Structure 1
Amino acid sequence: FLAILGGAKVSDEIQLIDNMLDKVNSLIICGGTAFTFKKTLDHVSIGNSPFDAPGSEKVAGLVEKAKKNNVKLVFPVDYVIGDKFDKDAKTGFATDAEGIPEGWMGLDAGPKSRELFRLTVLEAKTILWNGPPGVFEFPAFAKGSSSLLEASIDAVKKGAVVIVGGGDTATVVAQHGAEDKLSHVSTSAATTL
C-alpha cells in the first residue's frame, strides 16, 4: 500500500503523514511538503521553497516511526526550480547535492525524482494519491504531475487500485481526461482519507 502526499499545505500534511505511517508500506512525500523534510533531515539548501518551522520539529519523530513500522519513505532528489511563483518564471534545475539557490524555489520534481516515483508506484498494489508533486497549473512545472499520472494509469493496467483524493490532484486527472483510467477520483481529500 503506497500513499503519495504532495501539495503545499505542509502543516496539514504532517498530521496526515503521521496517520498514514500506521497504514502504508511506502510513502512518497513530494511537492512543497518535501522541502521541510529535505532541509531538516539532509540539510539540503531549499532556497525560497516552502519551509514549515513548527512541522520541522516533528520530522525526526516521523522518520523514526516510519523505520519502526518498516515504511519506505521516498523523497524527491532533484527539482525543476523557478525564480518566482509564476507561469512566466525563469526555470532552472537543481539536485540535492548542490541545493536550490537563494531567490529560487523548487516548483516541480526533476527527472530522477519522476523516475523514482514511477518505480515506486509500479511496485504497489494499492495507491492513494493526495497532492501533486509540482505546480501543475504552470506548464513549466507540470511534468512531475503528468508523469505520476502516467505511472498511476500503468499501475491500474497491471491490476493495481489507484484512488485519487483532493481537489488539486483531481484537477490534474481531469486536465488529462483520465478519470475513467483510475479506480476512484474524489475532489475531497478529507473524505477520501
Structure 2
Amino acid sequence: MNRIKTVNDFNFKNKTALLRVDYNVPVNKQHIITDDTRIQYSIPTIKKILSENGKIILISHFGRPKKKYDKNFSLKFLVPYLYKKLKVPINFSKSCIGEETNKKVNELKNGEILLLENIRFYKEEEERNENFAFELSKYGDIYVNDAFGVSHRLHTSTTVLPKFFGKKKCIGLLMKKEIQFLNKFISGTGNKPITILLGGAKIISKIKVIENLINFSNHLLIGGGMSYPFIKIKGGKIGNSIIENDKNIEKTLKNILDKYQNSNNRLHLPKDILIAKYYDNKTKTKIVPINSIPNEWMGLDLGPNSIKYFSKIIEKSKTILWNGPVGVFELSNFSLGTKSIAKIIVETTKKGAFSLVGGGDTIAALKMEGLDKKISYLSTGGGAMLESLKGEILPGIKEII
C-alpha cells in the first residue's frame, strides 16, 4: 500500500483528472438509482480534486451493452443525480473519444465535471486497445483509478490507459479504503480473533480464497451452498443440495478438511440445515443434521443449531468479513439464517468489532433488513474483493504501482 500513490500525493490546481469510477449502479425501470453506495464512496475523491480548482473527466461503464450505443445503458441519467450531490456543473459527452468529446474537453472549466458516455459502448474497452487508450489519455493530466469494482478486469480503461501517464497516476480514496480494509484479512493484521464467513452457491470461485485466508484467520465459517461439497467429502448425505462435481475440487477440499478441521479447529461447517423439496414459500420444510439430508430434499438455509454455533463464534470476534448468504434469503421460508447472521454481525460491530461485507447478494440481504448502514465497511466490488482475498494484486492496481 505504501508504494501506491493516492490523490493526496498530487495537487490538481489547473489540472485535468481522468477519473475512472465504477458507476455501474442498480436502477429500477424508471432508471432511478436504488443503491448509490458506489457513487457515494467516490464523492471524497471528486471533492478533493475540485477543491484544488481542478477539472474532472469521469469514465465509467454501466451494465453489459453489446459494444454499441443503447439508450437503455446510457450514463446520461447520472447527470442530475451528480449535480444534486456535488452542486457543480456536470457536462455530458455522448461519446468517449472524437470531435464532440474534444470540444467538450476544451470547453471544460476548473471546478467542473465532464461525464463521458458508457465506455462499454466501445468494443475496444474489453480488447485492451492501445490506440483507444491513447486517444483517451489526451484528455487528462493525471490518471486516477477509483473503480475498485472493475480493477480485477483486464480492460483498457483500467490496465492500458494508466501506461500513458508515467508517474502521473494514482488511486482514489475509495480504492485506498478498499485496499487498507481488505489488508486486515489478507495479511492477518486485523484485531484478533479474525472470523471470515463465506457463503453463496459456488465454491469453485472461492477455493483459492479459502486456501489463502485460512492461514490468516482464527475462524473460517462455511455456509450456504459452499458447505455441501465438504459434507459430501466427509461421507455425509446431501440429497439434492447444490454441488459442483469436480474431482480436482474434491481433492483440494479434502486436503483443507484434513489440515484444518480436525487439528487446528479453524474450519467450521453447519451442524443442522433447513431442507425442502422445492424453492418456494409454500413447500413443506424440516430440519435435519447437515450430513443426513434425504434423497429428493435439498438444504436451503441454516438450521437453529447452526445459527447458534456460527453466532457464538462471530460475537467473540474483533474483525469480521462476510461474503455470500447462507441460504436462499430471497424467499422468506429460507431467510432466517442469513438474517440472523446479519444481525449478530451488526451487534458485534456495535461492541467495537470491525466488519466488512462484500458481494451483491450479501449487501442486498443487509439492505432488506435495513442493516447496511450499521456495518463498518461495505465493499464496492464482489468479484474484485474475492480476487483480492486470493492474495493477488489486482491488474488495475498493479498498473498504478
Aligned pairs for 1:30-179 (under 5 A) are 30-41=223-234, 43-54=235-246, 55-66=249-260, 70=264, 72-96=266-290, 99-179=292-372
Is the contact between residue 24 and residue 71 of structure 1 (CA under 8 Å) also seen in structure 2? no
SS in 2 for 1:4: strand
1:5 aligned partner: 198
Residue type of the alignment partner of 2:295: E
How far does the alpha carbon of each residue in 1:80-130 deviate from its partner, in whole angstroms, 9 at most, with x for none? 111023343322221146x11111100000000000010010111100000
1:16 aligned partner: 209
Indicate the larger mover: 67-76 or 169-178.
67-76
Distance 1:10 1:89, change over 3 A: farther
CA distance in 1, matches of 2:300, 2:290: 14
SS in 1 for 2:211: helix
Unaligned runs of 5+ in 1: none
**Which one of 16, 26, 30 corresponds to residue 219 of structure 2?**
26
SS in 2 for 1:28: strand
Unaligned runs of 5+ in 2: 1-193, 390-401
SS in 2 for 1:86: coil
SS in 2 for 1:148: helix
CA distance in 1, matches of 2:328, 2:304: 15
Indicate the larger mover: 152-161 or 13-22.
13-22
Indicate the larger mover: 88-97 or 147-156.
88-97
How far does the alpha carbon of each residue in 1:11-56 deviate from its partner, in whole angstroms, 9 at most, with x for none? 1122221121122111000100101001112x11100002223222
How far does the alpha carbon of each residue in 1:122-155 deviate from its partner, in whole angstroms, 9 at most, with x for none? 1111000000110000100000000001110111
Is the contact between residue 48 and residue 105 of structure 1 (CA under 8 Å) also seen in structure 2? yes
Q: Indicate whether 1:191 and 2:370 are aligned.
A: no
SS in 2 for 1:11: coil
CA distance in 1, matches of 2:346, 2:312: 13
Instruction: Indicate the RMSD between aligned Cα atoms, in angstroms.
Output: 1.8
Is the contact between residue 214 and residue 266 of structure 2 (CA under 8 Å) also seen in structure 1? no
CA distance in 2, matches of 1:96, 1:177: 30
CA distance in 2, matches of 1:30, 1:120: 14
CA distance in 2, matches of 1:188, 1:89: 35
- Number of aligned pairs? 191
Distance 1:37 1:67, change over 3 A: closer
SS in 2 for 1:48: coil
CA distance in 1, matches of 2:207, 2:252: 8
Residue type of the alignment partner of 2:376: S
CA distance in 2, matches of 1:101, 1:64: 26
Give the C-alpha shift of residue 65 in structure 1: 4.1
How far does the alpha carbon of each residue in 1:46-75 deviate from its partner, in whole angstroms, 9 at most, with x for none? 000022232222112112443699461111
Is the contact between residue 173 and residue 179 of structure 1 (CA under 8 Å) also seen in structure 2? yes
CA distance in 2, matches of 1:176, 1:67: 32
SS in 1 for 2:205: helix
Is the contact between residue 167 and residue 186 of structure 1 (CA under 8 Å) also seen in structure 2? no
Is the contact between residue 27 and residue 71 of structure 1 (CA under 8 Å) also seen in structure 2? no
